[in-house]
Amino acid sequence: SSQWRQARSAVPQPAEAGAAAPTTPPPAMSAAAAGGGARLEIAPAVASQTNKAGVTSGTSAEVEGEMAANQQLQQAKEDIATRDAELQDLRTRVADLEKLKQQQQALIAMKDTDLAAAQKRLSEAPAAAQQGSGFPMWLIGGLVLIVAAVVAWLAARRRKPSPLPPLPRR
> Between the CA of residue 32 and those of 2, 39, 41, what are the distances in Å?
11, 13, 20
Query: Is residue 125, in this structure, part of any structural domain at all?
Result: yes
Query: Is residue 54, in this structure, part of any structural domain at all?
Result: no
Q: What is the pLDDT of residue 34?
A: 52
Low-confidence ranges of the chain (pLDDT < 70): 1-2, 4-5, 8-37, 45-62, 127-135, 161-162, 170
**Arithmetic mean of pLDDT over the chain:** 76
Q: Is 131 in the same domain as 72?
A: yes
Query: Is residue 7, in this structure, part of any structural domain at all?
Result: yes
Q: What is the pLDDT of residue 98?
A: 96
Query: Is residue 153, in this structure, part of any structural domain at all?
Result: no
* Spatial separation of the C-alpha atoms in residues 24 and 160, rounded to whole Å: 142
Q: Which residues does 14 contact at the CB level (< 8 Å), separation at least 6?
A: 43, 46, 49, 59
Phi, psi (deg, nearest 5) at residue 53: -60, 130
Residue (of 23, 25, 41) closest to 33 by Cα position: 25
Q: Could you tell me the pTM of the whole model?
A: 0.34
Q: Is 10 in the same domain as 82?
A: no
Apex CA 160: angle with CA 154 and CA 161, to 5°?
140
Question: Residue 154, CB half-sphere, CA atoms under 13 Å: how many?
Answer: 6
Q: Is 71 in the same domain as 109?
A: yes
Range of the structural domain that residue 93 is part of = 60-143
How many domains does the chain fold into?
2
